[in-house]
């Protein structure tokens, strides 16, 4: 187990298309620019932030499993469409027992009915939706504050 604690930011399917994809819902920021800001915010607090995106459910599940041994203390996750479909990813995150914040760029409750249900929200420490890319920063700030309180 590494000495230093870290925070893992997980991005689900299609979030690699941020900047191009439906900007009316998801804004103009690219995933790379969002990740850069999150890593810098972590650095400013002396905490390593790792970002991982995949379009594949099993890769996200495997990455969640890896948190058991890689020093991850908190997870910030936007499961994207898997929010509404993936019992498997939910079970993975429940299985590793890491505290996490669920983030959505768009206000899923103001959109289609199928986006109103999340397989993650009842397990999450908190849920942020509708605040665009800044939602990730608010979620990370919460995780950083919790880590600093605990240490």
Residues that bind ligand DQA (CB under 6 A): 14, 78, 80-81, 83, 104-106, 108, 115
Phi, psi of 51 (to 5 degrees): -115, 140
The answer to whether 26 is a known catalytic residue is yes
Beta strand pairing status for 100-104 and 72-78?
A: parallel
Nearest distance, CB of residue 120 and ligand DQA, angstroms: 10
- In the chain, count H helices and then E strands: 5, 5
Rounded least distance, CB 5 to ligand DQA, Å: 26
What whole-number distance in Å separates Cα of residue 20 and Cα of residue 60?
22
> Is 139 or 143 the residue whose CB approaches ligand DQA more closely?
139
Number of residues assigned to the chain = 151
| Whether 58 is catalytic | no
Shortest Cβ distance from residue 135 to ligand DQA (Å)?
8
In terms of CB distance, is 42 or 79 closer to ligand DQA?
Answer: 79
Helix (H, G, I), strand (E, B) or coil at 92: helix
Distance of alpha carbon 35 from alpha carbon 57, whole angstroms? 20
Q: Which of 11, 104, 119, 136 is catalytic?
A: 104
Nearer to ligand DQA, 39 or 81 (CB): 81
- Catalytic annotation, residues: 26, 104
């Amino acid at each position: 187990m590494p000495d230093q604690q870290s925070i893992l930011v997980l991005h689900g399917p299609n979030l690699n298309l941020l900047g191009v994809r439906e900007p009316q819902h998801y804004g103009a920021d690219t995933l790379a620019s969002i990740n850069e800001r999150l890593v810098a915010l972590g650095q400013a607090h002396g905490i390593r932030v790792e970002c991982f995106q995949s379009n594949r459910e099993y890769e996200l599940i495997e990455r969640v499993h890896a948190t058991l041994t890689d020093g991850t203390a908190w997870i910030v996750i936007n499961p994207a469409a898997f929010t509404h479909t993936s019992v498997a990813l939910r079970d993975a995150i429940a299985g590793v027992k890491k505290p996490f914040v669920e983030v959505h760029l768009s206000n899923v409750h103001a959109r289609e009915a199928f986006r109103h249900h999340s397989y993650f929200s009842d397990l999450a420490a908190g849920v942020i939706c509708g605040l665009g890319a800044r939602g990730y920063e608010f979620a990370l700030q919460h995780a950083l504050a919790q880590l600093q309180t605990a240490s």
